A and B are shown apart, each in its own frame.
Chain A
Amino acid sequence: MGKKEKLLMNRRTWLGGTLAAAVIHVQTAWGKSIQIPTLSSEDDPTKKIGPGPSKLGKRSLFEHPVRKPSDISSRTPLQDLYSTITPSDLHFERHHAGVPVIDPEKYELLIHGMVDKPMKFTLRDLKRFPSVTRTCFIECAGNFRTGKEEMTPQDILGLTSQSEWTGVMLSTLFREVGVQPKATWFLAEGSDAAVLTRSIPVSKGWNDAMIVYAQNGEAIRPEQGYPARLLLPGWEGNTNVKWLRRIELSDQLWMTREETSKYTYPVKDRIRQFSFDMDARSIITFPSYPANVEPGWIEIRGIAWTGRGKVHRVDVSTDSGKTWNSARLQEPVLDKAHTYFRYLWHWSGNETEIMSRVIDETGYMQPTLRQLIDARGVDITGYHLNPITAWVIKRDGSVKFKSESWK
């Protein structure tokens, strides 16, 4: 490195340092203090050379999208995203005993039970099989919160995220081990401290299930199941068993705790079990709380999805549900995937409610909370609850969640 070059390097590093040092503290919507850099007139970017190349990229100093963690999960900031891929570090988390640390060199997947040849595969083995990449959403089955006006899309239903997953089709492995025709269910077991298990119909395994080891082009994140997880496109998040260590084939199911005590819900005087498909759902992510809008043209934006195939149509209402118009769908519309929609609207400045509803390719239309209560009774829980979500636009331009209670 020449002397001049070295000087430049130091200067660049130093420059990067000064910019980061000038910060102000602001309160976020949830009362958390974050640092925002301030620029003085001396910081004209056309007058100073910026920092040079680095090993690992990072977000702009001005952008702070974060997950919102609780004790048992963390939620995706849907209101901060502009399209349907969730940045991997913002993918929601839900686990039952924390995130395990698994050495990829020691990782093995066991497939046994009603198979001709019980087998163990290392991660290296899994990666050698013909691979497939597909984009789809994963949504937790318990993904609805309500209760106050000051709730963001993240608060209401932030337990849904979308990635581009890469791995091996489970059917490829089924073929390899020789799954016997009499096998109707398989058990998927994780290697976290919950050793979480779910029973899955073998047909899903032959259809579109995958064992994935990559997320958005790189190795899957620990929170999403590193080094390998089950991916069941369109099915409730919990069945997509992370840190997968074992698959057992059988002609009967298991009735594990996660499919009896949990992930089941009252429907009138019954308890409904095995709701694998995630019902069609949509939400307007802009404008939404805590945004402020001005009268004039507003492009309403949001996401819609269904576990039963493709989004067929998204309707938007800007007059509290009296009339509905079709939104534009961002192509390509993918199977079992978050689909971005947009609807151009001219806001007069009067208070109103805006909302979206999705129609999927089976003809199912996203219901209102009232419809769900009428169909299932007042004892409904947050499991498999997909009501239309409305935002109130107040005269001062503030946007609030229309929180409906059902009891």
Chain B
Amino acid sequence: MQKAKGKIGFKGFVVIASGVIVVTLSSLYNRTTLLHNAKLDTSRRTTDSLTWPKTFGYGRVATTQDIAAWDIDIQPDGKGLPAGSGTVHEGKVVYLAKCAACHGAEGKEIAGQKLPAPALVSDTTFQGRKSNTIGNYWPYATTVFDYIRRSMPYTAPGTLTNNEVYALTAYILGQNHIIKTDAVINAQTLPKVIMPAKKHFITDDREGGAEVK
């Protein structure tokens, strides 16, 4: 096996050597360097993946409990949303108790006052907006649930019940005039909420090259 590979390398050398007259000096240099490396490859394997086992057998199989304990993410189609529900009204009560201290009484930017946390509420107009909020900038309603459940309240993350998170999501969406004040938010209704800002989002398609975009 080793020997056969060496022979292939040698053939390669002959082919390139006969092409010397037509190649420029610099490309000759590149080619010989490449060839040099290629020759080294045959004498000692620089990659050992060929000899890797199918499995290393390190680690352990995760149990359903392992996964359930950490698997808290939500996708835009609603995958991952737990059982439970909440209303705008219920959300207001939780908001005032657990969020208003940082995000302001109504979640809105207050002129001349610097809140310790970003504004969550505005109108839904994208053009001319003062700051980015859930009303004018967030493309998916499921993100509101996911983010509040994993990260808020800032100083006590992970302490809210699923019903509280649903209710807070309802309250914030209601404040932004995205859902009606009597709406019930749950695993079925949340993914159906269409966010006003969604239409503005585009995926970066730049791949380098001369153009400045």
Using CB atoms and an 8 Å cutoff, list the residues of chain A in contact with chain B.
96-97, 110-112, 117-122, 125, 128-130, 176, 187, 189, 193-197, 245-246, 248, 250, 252-257, 260-261, 264, 267, 269-277, 308-309, 360, 362-365, 367, 371-372, 374-376
Contact = CB atoms under 8 A, between A and B. Distances in A.
B71 A248 contact: yes
B56 A129 contact: yes
Interface string B169-213: 000000000000000000000000000010011111011111011
B154 interface: yes
Given A270-B201, A271-B137, A275-B204, A125 B209 contact: no
Contacts of B95: none
Interface string B29-41: 0000000000000
Q: Which of B75, B140, B209 has the most CB of A within 10 A?
A: B75
A197 B73 CA distance: 9
Contact of A130 (B48, B61, B140): B48
B74 interface: yes
Given A96-B151, A256-B147, A122 B59 contact: yes
Contact of B201 (A96, A253, A273, A367): A273
A371 B212 CA distance: 7
Interface stretch (B15-23, B62-70, B81-89, B98-106): B62-70
Given A97-B151, A128-B56, A117 B208 contact: no
A395 to B, nearest CB: 34
Given A195-B151, A363-B208, A118 B201 contact: no
A272 B143 CA distance: 17
A176 B201 contact: no
Nearest to A371: B212
- Which of A97, A254, A264 has the largest count of B CB atoms less than 10 A from its CB? A254
B62 A97 contact: no
B76 A252 contact: yes
Given A176-B55, A261-B138, A248 B73 contact: yes
A175 to B, nearest CB: 8
B9 interface: no
A16 B74 CA distance: 58
A256 B58 CA distance: 31
Contact of A255 (B58, B142, B206): B142
Contacts of B79: 252
Contacts of A271: 137, 139, 197, 200-202
A245 B69 CA distance: 12
Nearest to A185: B75
A359 to B, nearest CB: 9
A118 B204 contact: no
Nearest to B137: A261
B176 to A, nearest CB: 13
B202 A187 contact: no
Contacts of B134: 261
A276 B203 CA distance: 10
A308 B208 contact: yes
B43 to A, nearest CB: 21
11 contacts: A96-B151, A248-B73, A257-B146, A257-B147, A261-B143, A269-B127, A271-B201, A271-B202, A274-B204, A277-B206, A367-B212
A121 B58 contact: yes
A118 B143 contact: no
A187 B143 CA distance: 14
A270 B201 CA distance: 6
Nearest to B62: A118
B132 interface: yes
Interface in B124-161: 126-127, 132, 134, 137-140, 142-143, 146-147, 150-151, 154, 157-158
A248 B70 CA distance: 11
B110 interface: no
B132 A261 contact: yes
Contacts of A129: 56, 58
B60 interface: yes
B58 A125 contact: yes
Contacts of A128: 56, 58
A260 B140 contact: yes
Contact of B61 (A117, A245, A308): A117
Interface string B106-136: 0000000000000000000011000010100
A136 to B, nearest CB: 17
Given A118-B67, A367-B212, A176 B58 contact: yes
Contacts of B213: 267, 375-376
Contacts of B206: 275, 277
Contacts of A272: 202-204
Contacts of A122: 59
Nearest to B69: A110
Contact of A256 (B71, B143, B197): B143
A176 B70 contact: no
Given A97-B154, A112-B71, A360 B208 contact: yes
B72 interface: yes
A360 B201 CA distance: 28
Contacts of B48: 130
A16 B62 CA distance: 55
A115 to B, nearest CB: 10
Contacts of B60: 119-120
A199 to B, nearest CB: 9
A117 B147 CA distance: 28
Contacts of A245: 70
Contact of B143 (A255, A365, A375, A376): A255
Nearest to A111: B62
